[in-house]
Amino acid sequence: MQTTTSPDALRAEMVERIRKAGHARQGAVERVLRDTPRHEFVPDADLAVAYDPWQAVVTHRFEDGRSLSCASAPWLVAAMLDQLDVEPGNRILEIGAGTGYNASLLAQLTGRADLVTTVDIDPDVTAKASQALAATGYGGVHVITGDGGLGYPSHAPYDRVIATVSPWDIPVSWWKQLAPEARLVAPLRWRGQGRSVSFTYTDGRLVSDSLHLCGFVYLRGEYEGELSGSITADERVKLHWDRDQAVDLSTLRGVLDQPRSVAWSGITIAPDESHDGFWLRLTVTDQRVCRISAHPDAVPEVVNPIGGYWRPALVDGGSLVYLTARRLESGDGVRWELGAIGHGPAAAELTEHLCERGPRLVIQARSIRAQAGHLPCGHPGGRAWCQRTQKTDPVRFRES
C-alpha cells in the first residue's frame, strides 16, 4: 500500500536519520542525497521502502531466489560516498551498476555525468540503469555491460573507483586503472566477514583509512574465493573458508563428537552490541580464521556458537574452535561474555588463543601480479593474508 507522505518529505527525513547515525558527514554527500529522487530508481518499491535509511531494495534475482542486484541501503550508500571523498572533476569508475542511483550521485559529486563510468555484467541490469539515468537527467553516464573485474580501461585512469559488488580479491585490472593518489572503496571479503574498505593508492600500495561492516552481492566469476563443506554426516554444521587456506574436511568430520574444551575471555558485550571487531582483529594475527554455520536443530547440543550470522572459528588440522557467549547478569544489567569452545587434539590451546585480545589494524594492499607479473607459490589470485613475515603479500595487515 502506498504511503501518502510526499517523496520530498520522506527523503528529508531519510537524510536526517542517516546523519544522526554518523553518515553523510560531507556536505556534498548530504546535498546529493537530499536532491536525488531515489524512488525513481526503484519504481516498484513503496515510497516508504524507497526512503527507509536501513533497507536495501532487491531489483533482480537469480532463478534460485538469491539476490542478483539491488539498491543498497541509503545509510551504506552515504557511508561509502563519505569514504570515496569525490572531488569536482574526478574521473570515476563504479563496479556494479545496480539501479543507476549511485551513478547519479557520483555524477553530481564530480560535476559531470560523462566523467562517471559504471559497469555491470548483466545486460538487464545495465538496460534498466541506463533508462533510469536518462529519465532523471544523467544520461551522460557511461553504462557498460561487461565483466566488472576487468574495470573499463578505455576511460582510465580513474581518480576514484567504487565497487558495489563484493570481490574476494582486488582484481589486477583495477590496480592498473588507478591514477596516482586515487581512492578505491570496495566491500572486500576475507576470512568469512566483509567490510567496505577505503584505500588511498600511493607508491604502488593501497592503504586503508576506514572500514564499515557490510554485505554485498558477490562479484561473479574467478573473483569468488570462499569454499564450504559439512563437518557432520547430517549436513547440519558447515565450515566456510577461503581458497588460500589449507582446510581438509576429511580430518574434521566427526570432530564435534570429541570432548569440548571451553575458555572464557573476560570480554563482555551488551545484548545489542556487535562482536564483529573481535573477529576483525583476529584476522590480523591468525591464518586459521574461518566461519562456522549451524542449522538451528544442531544448537546447542551439537554446537553452541555465538548468535547471529557472523560466527568466527579457527581450524588447525583436525582441531576446531569457535566463538561462543554466555549470559551474565549483574546490577548493571545483562551482559554477554565472549568465550571459545574447541574440539580435537589442539582444543585447549586453540580456545585460549581465541580468547586473547587483538590489536587495532590498518590494511595495506600491494598487487604482485600488477607489479611483478607473477605469484609466489600457493598464492591464488594475487592475494594472501596477514602473515607479517611474508614480505611479498599483496594484501597485508599490520598492527598499529
Which residues are designated catalytic? 69
The answer to whether 186 and 165 are in contact (CB under 8 A) is no
Which among 59, 57, 7 has a CA at the least distance from the CA of 34? 7
The answer to whether 88 and 26 are in contact (CB under 8 A) is no
The answer to whether 60 and 123 are in contact (CB under 8 A) is no
Task: Cell numbers for 101, please give them.
Answer: 542511483
3-state helix, strand, coil in the chain (%, to 5): 30, 30, 40
Task: Cell numbers for 222, please give them.
Answer: 574467478
Q: Which amino acid is at 268?
A: T
Between CA 312 and CA 310 the distance in angstroms is 6
Which residue(s) pair with 363 in the sheet? 397
Task: Cell numbers for 150, please give them.
Answer: 576487468
Which among 166, 31, 41 has a CA at the least distance from the CA of 103? 41
Q: What angle in degrees, to the nearest 10, is found between the helix axes of 7-20 and 74-84? A: 60
Which residue(s) pair with 190 in the sheet? 193
Could you count the other beta carbons within 10 Å of the beta carbon of residue 211? 18
Burial 176-191 (b: 16+ CB within 10 A, else e): ebbeeebbbbbbbbbb
Give the contacts of 184 (CB within 8 A, at least 6 positions apart): 160, 161, 162, 170, 174, 178, 198, 199, 201, 206
SS3 383: coil
Could you count the other beta carbons within 10 Å of the beta carbon of residue 46? 14
The answer to whether 84 and 183 are in contact (CB under 8 A) is yes
Using the structure block, give the residue that is written with the C-alpha cell 576470512: 191
Give the contacts of 226 (CB within 8 A, at least 6 positions apart): 168, 189, 192, 240, 241, 242, 243
